[in-house]
Chains A and B, each alone.
Chain A
Amino acid sequence: MKKNSIRLMLLASSLFGSASLAYADSVTLTIESWRNDDTQVWQQQIIPAFEKANPDIKVVFAAAAPTEYNAALNAKLAAGSAGDLITCRPFDASLDLFKKGYLTSVNDLKGMDNFSDVAKAAWQTDDGKTTFCVPMASVIHGFIYNKDAFDELKITPPKTHDEFMEVLKKIKDDGTYTPLAMGTKDQWEAATMGWENIGPDYWKGEEGRKALIAGTAKLTDPAFVEPFKVLAGWAPYMGDGYQAQSYPDSQNLFTLGRAAIYPAGSWEISVFNKQAQFKMGAFPPPLPKEGDTCYISDQPDHALGMNAKSAHPEAAKKFLEWVASKDFAEIYGNALPGFFPLTKEKVELKDPLAKEFLSWRESCKPTMRATYQILSRGTPNLENESWGASANVINGTETPEVAAKKLQDGLDSWYHPGK
């Protein structure tokens, strides 16, 4: 982390240095982001493409660690030292920034009609009238598997839950590979790549998600408890000491070829492409029963907004308009395989694994993480609570029913839809 930020600072200062020599009146925009993994891609592909078209504007990508981003950004905004462009988390975190006047409306920006209402929903006011960030990318959940291992063991990607469990058992019986590369140490994986990954198949995607928000469904309903039960069934296949296995541990376990299946978010693709020495494939969340409709979690992940106090609003707007264009979508989607552009225009992706994830959009109904919109606005925060609940269910310290009841009780304590 520290090394990274020093490197960034050096880079930034050298950029400033050379910029001030060459272009006496050039403008420098700074982008705030939590995607520190992508720093290189921004510096080598995305920013140069923009700077080529706009030689009088320099852009610096200054990313923080994901877990520290919100805290750091809020502090910087309050102090007036934040960058010109701000990467927006979906829903409330950004809505709050907009309400506080830190972000400006992007309604009139050229190119905003390239996005569907669903794509914009994560960065709109509750009434849908004002959009305050330009949608950049979504991530799709599913499972990445080690193709070589599957071939070796002569198994094919499972389509249903029963097949999935069979595959896991086969891998375990063989003993060469850890069947499932997932741990519960960091908690969020269990919820994000576990419960929210397979869940939409059980609660019927948008239908269940909207019913939760409307208050007509409860988390204690079978549709929401069932995925917890499925999770609990994963535990025996998750490797020795999975309780202390962290997220990077799981990634390494898989990319080193020691595990066969990785419950994934598509953002792993670019990392795995670099690290894994074997062929990879992907399959969508297994269906509860043969013939059920499939649903995928196609989660709006990030967007870009403008700091209302930016010293260079015109340059920042120019950059945002470019972000809304197809050019950007194509560069971005290919530079960062696994982050799928939200634009309505047809974007060609080259990465095979990313293409596989994207292809599910055609056969499955998309939805997003059920806890994200509105339901994580109060205390206790449903999203954070669901992390603990999912991890506890896998660890066996809570039954699925108890975990679901705790989530619902927490939600009931502050959320009263229709009142």
Chain B
Amino acid sequence: MAVARKQTRWHIAIFLAPALIVYTAIMILPLFGTLQLSLFRNIDQKQVFVGLDNFRALFGDPHWSGAFWNAFKNNVWFSLIHMLVQNPIGILLAALLSSNKLRFRAFYRTAIFVPTILSFVIVGFVWKLILSPLWGIAPMLLKEVGLRSLFHPWLGVPDTALTTVALISVWQFVGIPMMLIYAALLSIPDEVIEAAECDGITGMAQFWKIKLPLILPSIGIISILTFVANFNAFDLVYVTQGALGGPNFSTDILGTFLYRTFFGFQLQLGDPNMGSAIASMMFFIILIGVCFYLFAIQTRLRRYQF
């Protein structure tokens, strides 16, 4: 019997190729294109290499840096609300869903997950209508119960606009952490739970002492996904508050700031070079966040092998 020759496994490369080519063409090359563009400036209709001058302007010129740090600050708050509201609620919902006593589980699961597949445009439009002081359901319902005075034009006041937009986004996306945690909870083997029950750990204590540590890696992944999505966010703010991130730039996040700068807005002409500088900063911020997670948190998380 002849020994089968060890073959070069070409099929791996071939099957990987389409994804790799597409990803390189539409993600990696443009990324380097953007980094390159940020080092140039348009002078007399010609692209001139200016080194880090655009970044110097972005951080040194008070008008640019003011707008940048304002957008950054808003972005941090936007992200913080997701971390503090969306993820805990997602975990809570998942815990409730995985409870055996709950009826109509599939219905709840679907109902909560549906908004995530809706378009930003619809979500933004619907919530703008709900919260509209003129025709909104929110002021009408509050009026019905005699609490009309509690209603404020939340999306129009600088103090509340950003939080309101962030909560709309939470409403839309809470289904994603819920599903991921739910899957993680379901994958905990019954033996572990049974062992816990034998030791007399049930109910809340079981969740805190057994289940939560087991799903921590999933929560870590969800947090980093949320972080990346938040710092790339643009659509919802654009739909609800416009490209100026109104009122008075209180909802201006890096995404809208980038859009305005890169493509221009109304009389403001687009400046692809400055826009690329902002896009590069967004890239670096996300890179730093992800690296921090990978090296500082991920490596310390204990994993349990079942």
Query: Which residues of chain A have a CB within 8 Å of any CB of chain B?
Result: 67, 70-71, 74-75, 89, 91-93, 96, 99-100, 183-188, 239-246, 249, 252-253, 371-372, 376-377, 379-381, 383-384, 387-388, 391-392, 395, 397-398, 410, 413
Contacts and interface: CB of A to CB of B under 8 A. Distances in A.
Contacts of A245: 132-134, 153, 156
Contacts of A387: 244
B242 A395 contact: no
B156 A241 contact: yes
A279 B187 CA distance: 69
Given A388-B249, A391-B248, A397-B248, A70 B266 contact: yes
Interface in B133-178: 133-135, 139, 151-158
A364 B271 CA distance: 39
A93 B157 CA distance: 31
B151 A241 contact: yes
A376 B268 contact: yes
Contacts of B269: 92-93, 96, 377
Contacts of B108: none
A143 B296 CA distance: 61
11 contacts: A74-B270, A92-B269, A100-B45, A187-B246, A240-B133, A244-B155, A245-B132, A246-B132, A384-B268, A391-B248, A413-B63
Interface string B113-130: 000000000000000100
B243 interface: yes
Q: Which 7 A-B pairs have the closest CB atoms?
A: A241-B133, A243-B156, A244-B153, A244-B156, A71-B263, A241-B153, A381-B268
Contacts of A379: 63-64, 268, 271, 274
Contacts of A391: 246-248
Interface in B232-256: 242-244, 246-249
B219 interface: no
B131 interface: yes
Contacts, number: 126
Given A184-B247, A186-B246, A391-B248, A70 B270 contact: yes
A70 B265 CA distance: 7
Contact of A410 (B45, B63, B246, B274): B63
A384 B265 contact: yes
A241 B152 contact: yes
Contact of A384 (B151, B155, B244): B244
A69 B132 CA distance: 27
A183 B133 CA distance: 11
Given A93-B267, A381-B267, A397-B248, A185 B156 contact: yes
B264 interface: yes
Given A186-B246, A187-B247, A241-B153, A253 B134 contact: yes
Contacts of B243: 67
A380 B62 CA distance: 11
Nearest to B271: A379
Contacts of A185: 153, 155-156, 246-247
Contacts of B263: 70-71, 74-75
Contacts of A240: 133
Contacts of A381: 267-268
Given A241-B151, A388-B247, 12 more contacts: A70-B266, A184-B247, A187-B244, A187-B246, A241-B132, A244-B155, A245-B133, A246-B132, A379-B274, A381-B267, A388-B249, A395-B248
Given A243-B247, A249-B134, A186 B151 contact: no
Contacts of B271: 379
